[in-house]
A and B are shown apart, each in its own frame.
Chain A
Amino acid sequence: MKLLEVLANKGSYSVAELMLDSDFKKWVLLPISIMMILTGLLKSDLMLLISPKYTGYPRVKLSEMQWFVKGQLLLGNGTNLDDESYDVRRHELIEILTSGKYVAQEKKEPNAEKISNPLADPSINESLMNMAKGNMANFIPQTIIMWWVNYFFGGFVIMKLPFPLTVKFKDMLQNGIMTSDLDARWVSAISWYFISVLGMNPLYNLLNSNPEEGQVNNQMNQVLGGTGQPAPDVIMKNLANDLTIATQHESCFDDIESRVLKMYE
């Protein structure tokens, strides 16, 4: 209840009105905002540059993946076919998937069974390295901007927040301002930095939207037999089993004549 009163400004909490120089807006608020936006855009470009390159896959691996997808599509969209077409496709796919004709054969090294150290795997090392680079690209610019804001714009109040905050926020948001009874709504530049860090994502999304983003990742995820997945031949045989038991087929063409006639009744 007390919190609601504070939020609605109906209590006896009086907010001291300060007269701020309007140059603060021009020389503090705007430069910090512009710097935050530019840093965010630069960071996303940097992430694009240091992101792992899409290396592609050999033809045999792609055809293995496509046969698997074909089986899945038949299971998912088989209702678009009539019974005869569905059965022909189903039997052909069961035969191909069970025989393992299109499973990509990988070169087996003689000592492959003995290697058990995951850190020796170059792909895992590369992904760890990429993760570390991504983290660095995130926190280094943030640290630099935070230092810049604290160094150049510390020690004075620049703005009033439109919502009330509790006294506990004073230490963080009025850092360097020697007033014990100033309301927590009057904040220094560092608080604008925090609000920007938390709330800039929608703005970055609109400024930097890339419609093709994520397509490569999706393609990469579709390849069979990745880390932590069962072997491709096992996946193929499981799909063949699924197709074998998917005998109950309901076609969208069943009774289509009566349904069309009913529409014009």
Chain B
Amino acid sequence: MDAGNPTGNANGQVDMNSATSALNLQNMDNVNYNKKAYIDFMDKISLLSGVVNGILQFESLAGFRNFFIMYFTCLFAYILFICKGKPSRFYGNVINDLIIETIMRELLGFIMAWTFSYALVG
């Protein structure tokens, strides 16, 4: 699991220059690669979390609460450990790419896995 290709140079050049020049250095292919890596990561987490919630027979608010706790914990872990605390080097628009574009997809995947394992085990 790696956020692979930084959009800026690794020799610290981005830090020396202005934010505008850092923006110019972003490569769309790398940004798309990083988005796919993040979606793959969150897909695995949300499906696994749904299955665990179903097996443990969580219901109603407890299940949704677990999803949001899991989602945001993984998001912060991703930003801290994989993006090394600098997600803007890897993504064009951090809020949009990391939260808005994925949260609905992961919530629906979670509900599907949760419902399925809940019905199988229950």
Residues of B within 8 A of A33 (CB): 116
Task: Mark interface residues in B92-122 (1 if CB within 8 Å of A CB, else 0).
Answer: 0000000000000110111111111011101
Contact B60 A163 (CB under 8 A): yes
Q: Is A177 an interface residue (CB 8 A)?
A: no
Q: How far is the CA of A29 from the CA of B54 in the complex (A)?
A: 15
Q: How far is the CA of A206 from the CA of B39 in the complex (A)?
A: 10
Q: Is B61 an interface residue (CB 8 A)?
A: yes
Q: Is B88 an interface residue (CB 8 A)?
A: no
- The number of residues on chain B lying at the interface, defined by a beta carbon within 8 Å of a beta carbon of chain A, is 42
**Do A76 and B24 contact each other (CB < 8 Å), given the known contacts A29-B116, A198-B112?**
yes
Contact B61 A8 (CB under 8 A): yes
Contact A160 B122 (CB under 8 A): yes
Dominant SS among interface residues on chain B: helix
Dominant SS among interface residues on chain A: helix
Shortest distance between the CB of A177 and any CB in chain B (Å): 16
> Which partner residue on chain A sits nearest B17 by CB separation?
A79
Contact A163 B13 (CB under 8 A): no
Contact B28 A162 (CB under 8 A): no
| Residues of B in contact with A (beta carbons under 8 Å apart) | 9, 11, 13, 16-17, 21, 24-25, 28-29, 32, 39-40, 42-44, 46-47, 53-54, 57-61, 63-64, 105-106, 108-116, 118-120, 122
| Residues of A in contact with B (beta carbons under 8 Å apart) | 4, 7-9, 25, 29, 33, 75-77, 79-80, 158-164, 192, 195-196, 198-203, 205-206, 209, 214-215, 218, 250, 252
Knowing that A7-B60, A161-B115, A206-B47 are A-B contacts, what are 11 other residue pairs whose CB atoms are under 8 Å apart, sorted by A's residue number?
Answer: A8-B61, A25-B120, A159-B115, A161-B118, A162-B53, A162-B54, A162-B57, A163-B63, A202-B109, A206-B44, A252-B13
